[in-house]
């Protein structure tokens, strides 16, 4: 979009928040870059320069605006809508792969050479993987500086910097302030917040997760709460809580929907996992989606239009752990939501990693595929065919034969899943929708979808409904949310306070 100058100028002049994260505006006269919705008086068009990423704006010599804080805008929806190499690379960078494994590790995950990855990212985003990762580290550093009392040295390494010097240089270059000045600036403006944080554990951080409006929290948080696994997930006092498995330890997150953001409280055993924890929570809540684009297309269907108008901005409830969800999808085959929760809770109790939750309620991290590979099929309380399906899936995941990670190839993942015994179209598309994050995944054979189709006068057979759904592409996963919403099920509403 950044190449459509006229459209970008109109978005900046109208302060249109829908385009935050789509592109960034460099202001030549001020030397800063902003988000489109920056509250200051818009610059003259001849003084605007448009960039596809914050990293590209930084490389062009612009520093972040102190008013609109462009580094804190929602991420571009492109990276969750697309399945090409650039989109997969951006999801992996957000997941911290470059910080942990370097550019060679990123290239290895994608199956390309480092030169090809550099070239493709540079061509589309105006910055290579190192610059993109550096911009992300700067954002994490600002977050830690402003929301915690961590010593600056700890902030530097927690944000992923290799040295304190690199940390200081990057913060000064990107924000035009030293790390200490950044913290003092926030402390002066919000003394109560900083005072409250002074006595907390250094591993507990509170922040806000921005999103593009509108957002309908009912089905999003309702689905996560209604299908939550006891001990791993819970709904308490208007918030969804769950445990997280992270590269350097584990964590507990509390997510509470608000009108303009989602309040997020993270308790981490290692603050180096902050960036990846935020990325996974945003992905689970589908916060980088473009609801206006989705709803505008679905409204063109006269059957869906009333559903969209009734509750616009529905998101697809996803997951923080794709392998966990794949296991849970198999456990949920042909059983009720309550039965699926019971089966999953038994696995967690027998094989999950115990954790200590200071607030009580959460007891385990969901077992990974390596731990589940040791389970005894005879102890599973469901039919032999489903036991075989589960153990085969777990074995394939543990052996690395199926990649369901954020950088995976959606087509290949579907093919490998479908080749497993007992894994049919419903399971494949459910995993594609909620674990892989494919916005066009569609489950015409789902009971809830079939009931909604019958009630709305849509074709009832999977083949006919799939054909009818062609006009909903590429947003069929969102159409499923609107179809599910026609039913009287707990997944469609927030739990009672």
404 touches 326 (CB < 8 A): yes
Q: Lowest-pLDDT range, 71-80, 283-292, 332-341, 457-466?
A: 71-80
Which is the catalytic residue, given 8, 20, 34, 71?
34
What's the domain range around 354?
Answer: 209-492
Are 191 and 213 in the same domain?
no
Does 34 participate in catalysis according to the annotation? yes
Degrees to nearest 5, angle at CA 56 with 52 and 62: 115
| Confidence at residue 187, expressed as pLDDT on a 0 to 100 scale | 63
Nearest residue to 242 via CA among 64, 110, 365, 76: 365
292 and 413: one domain? yes
Per-residue model confidence (pLDDT) at position 73: 83
Query: 384-389, long-range: CB within 8 Å, 24+ apart, which pairs?
Result: 385/421, 385/422, 386/330, 386/333, 386/422, 388/421, 388/422, 389/330, 389/333, 389/420, 389/421, 389/422, 389/423
Is 88 a domain residue? Answer: yes
This prediction has a pTM of: 0.91
What whole-number distance in Å separates Cα of residue 9 and Cα of residue 42?
9
DSSP state of 375: -
CB-based contacts of 438: which residues, under 8 Å, 6+ apart? Answer: 83, 410, 432, 477
Task: Let me know if residue 203 belongs to a domain.
Answer: no
Nearest to 375 by CA among 362, 355, 399, 392: 392
Report, as an integer, the average pLDDT of 143-167. Answer: 89
User: What's the chain's length in residues?
Assistant: 497
Q: Are residues 465 and 351 in the same domain?
A: yes
Q: How far apart are CA 87 and CA 76, in angstroms?
A: 10
The 3-state DSSP class for residue 169 equals helix
Q: Which of 20, 295, 440, 446 is catalytic?
A: 446
Average pLDDT value over all residues in the chain = 91
pLDDT of residue 376 exceeding 70, the answer is: yes
Q: Is residue 437 included in any domain, yes or no?
A: yes
Average pLDDT over residues 334-342: 90
CATH of the domain at 126: 1.10.10.60
Residues 324 and 450 in one domain: yes
Write out pLDDT tens, residues 473-493.
999 999 999 999 999 999 999
- Helix (H) or strand (E) holding 249, with range, is strand 249-257
Q: Is residue 86 over pLDDT 90? A: yes
Q: Is the pLDDT of residue 87 over 70?
A: yes
Give strand ranges (E) for 300-447. 353-354, 364-365
Q: How many angstroms separate the Cα of 49 from the Cα of each of 61, 175, 209, 286, 325?
A: 12, 18, 27, 29, 42
Can you tell me the distance from the alpha carbon of 170 to that of 97, in angstroms, rounded to the nearest whole number? 20
The answer as to whether 73 is a domain residue is no
Task: Specify the CATH number for the domain of residue 30.
Answer: 3.40.10.10
Q: Which 3 state secondary structure label does DSSP give 265? A: strand
For the question of residue 446 being annotated catalytic, the response is yes
70, 64 in Cβ contact below 8 A?
A: yes
164 with 226, same domain? no
What was the pLDDT predicted at 497? 63
Q: Residues 256, 239: contact at Cβ < 8 Å?
A: yes
Residue 189: per-residue pLDDT: 52
Residue 172 is assigned to a structural domain of this protein: yes
Considering only CA atoms, which of 24, 28, 50, 51 is closest in space to residue 38? 24
- Residues 192, 196: Cα–Cα separation, whole Å: 6
pLDDT of 162 strictly over 90: no
What angle, rounded to 10 degrees, do the helices at 179-189 and 164-175 form?
60
Smallest Cα–Cα separation from 186: which of 154, 145, 155?
Answer: 145
* Structural domain ending residue among the three candidates 25, 42, 67: 67
Same domain assignment for residues 62 and 191:
no
- Same domain, residue pair 248 and 183: no
């Amino acid at each position: 979009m950044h190449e459509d100058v006229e459209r970008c100028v109109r978005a900046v002049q109208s302060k249109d928040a829908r385009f935050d994260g789509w592109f960034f505006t460099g202001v030549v006269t001020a030397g800063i870059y902003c988000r489109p919705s920056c509250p200051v008086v818009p610059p003259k068009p001849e003084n605007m320069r448009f960039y596809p990423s914050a990293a590209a704006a930084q490389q062009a010599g612009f520093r972040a605006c102190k008013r609109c804080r462009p580094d804190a805008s929602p991420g571009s929806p492109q990276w969750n809508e697309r399945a090409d190499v650039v989109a997969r690379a951006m999801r992996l960078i957000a997941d911290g792969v470059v910080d942990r494994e370097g550019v060679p590790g990123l290239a290895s995950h994608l199956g390309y050479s480092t030169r090809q990855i550099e070239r493709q990212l540079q061509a589309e985003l105006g910055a290579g993987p190192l610059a993109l990762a550096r911009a992300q580290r700067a954002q994490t550093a600002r977050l830690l500086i402003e929301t915690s009392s961590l010593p600056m040295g700890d902030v530097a390494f927690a944000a992923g910097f290799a040295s304190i010097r690199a940390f200081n240089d990057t913060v000064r270059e990107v924000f035009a302030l030293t790390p200490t000045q950044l913290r003092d600036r926030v402390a002066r403006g919000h003394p109560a917040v900083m005072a409250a944080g002074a006595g907390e554990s250094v591993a507990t951080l509170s922040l806000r997760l921005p999103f593009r409006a509108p957002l309908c929290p009912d089905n999003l948080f309702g689905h996560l709460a209604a299908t939550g696994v006891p001990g791993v997930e819970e709904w308490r006092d208007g918030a969804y809580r769950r445990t997280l498995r992270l590269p350097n330890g584990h964590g507990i997150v509390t997510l509470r929907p608000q009108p303009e953001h989602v309040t997020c409280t993270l308790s981490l055993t290692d603050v180096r996992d902050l960036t990846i924890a935020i990325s996974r929570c945003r992905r689970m809540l589908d916060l980088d989606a473009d609801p206006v684009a989705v709803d505008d297309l679905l409204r063109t269907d006269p059957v869906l239009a009333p559903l969209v108008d009734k509750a616009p901005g529905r998101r697809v409830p996803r997951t923080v752990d794709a392998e966990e969800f794949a296991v849970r999808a198999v456990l949920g085959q042909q059983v009720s939501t309550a039965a699926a929760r019971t089966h999953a809770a038994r696995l967690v109790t027998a094989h999950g990693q115990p954790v200590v939750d200071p607030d009580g309620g959460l007891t385990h991290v969901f077992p990974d595929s390596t731990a589940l590979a040791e389970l005894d099929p005879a102890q599973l309380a469901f039919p032999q065919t489903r036991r075989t399906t589960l153990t085969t899936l777990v074995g394939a995941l543990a052996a690395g034969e199926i990649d369901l990670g954020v950088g995976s190839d959606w087509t290949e993942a579907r093919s490998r899943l479908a080749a497993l015994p007992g894994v049919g179209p419903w399971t494949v598309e459910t995993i594609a929708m909620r674990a892989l994050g494919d916005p066009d995944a569609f489950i015409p054979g789902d009971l809830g979808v079939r009931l909604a189709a019958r009630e709305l006068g849509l074709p009832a057979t999977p083949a006919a409904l799939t054909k009818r759904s062609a006009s909903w592409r590429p947003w069929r996963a969102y159409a499923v949310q609107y179809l599910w919403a026609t039913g009287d099920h707990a997944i469609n509403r927030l739990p009672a306070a």
